[in-house]
Amino acid sequence: MCEASDCIFCKIINGEIPSAKVYEDENVYAFLDLGQVTKGHTLIIPKLHTKDIFHLDPVVAEKLFRKVPMIARAIQKAFHPVGMNLLNNNSELAGQSVFHYHLHLIPRYGADDTFS
């Protein structure tokens, strides 16, 4: 499923770079963000290399977003956050640093969160 040989998220999907897997199926991979903005911070990515939302095939998007509530609930069950932010950066200007589409799931715990 990897298309971009220099893409770190394709390397994570292929197992060339280790990751803490949260969920995987034939279309989607979810894993803990190395940065952990809050505990349980997770990224959901399509296995098909896709640069950003502007290049995301609607069929691939549907397969990815269908899994979001289930993965959010799994994070909720594991880490017991009070709430959760979903975030997606597209373009360097908008804060994207890895150019393989990804959706951030950022659990929220309250006053001590380092994320606002």
Question: How far is Cα of residue 9 from the mean position of the Cα atoms in its chain?
Answer: 10
Instruction: Decide if 72 contacts 84 (C-beta within 8 A).
Output: yes
Residue 47 touching Zn ion (CB under 5 A): no
Q: Which residue stretch of 45-53, 59-67, 76-84, 91-99 sits at the interface with ligand 5GP (rule: CB under 6 A)?
A: 91-99
> Which 3 state secondary structure label does DSSP give 9?
helix
The contacts of residue 92 (CB under 8 Å, 6+ apart) are none
Site track 69-108 with Zn ion (rule: CB under 5 A), x = hit: -------------------------------x--------
Interface residue with ligand 5GP, options 2, 8, 61, 68 (CB under 6 A): 8
CB count within 10 Å of CB 108 equals 14
Quick check: is 102 catalytic? yes
Considering CB distances under 5 to 8 angstroms, the limit depending on partner class, which of Zn ion, ligand 5GP, none binds residue 49?
A: Zn ion
Which is nearer to ligand 5GP, 31 or 48 (by Cβ)? 31
Q: How far is it, in rounded angstroms, from Cα 85 to Cα 9?
A: 21
Q: How far is it, in rounded angstroms, from Cα 40 to Cα 33?
A: 8
Q: Which residue stretch of 18-26, 41-49, 52-60, 103-111 sits at the interface with Zn ion (rule: CB under 5 A)?
A: 41-49
Active site residues: 102
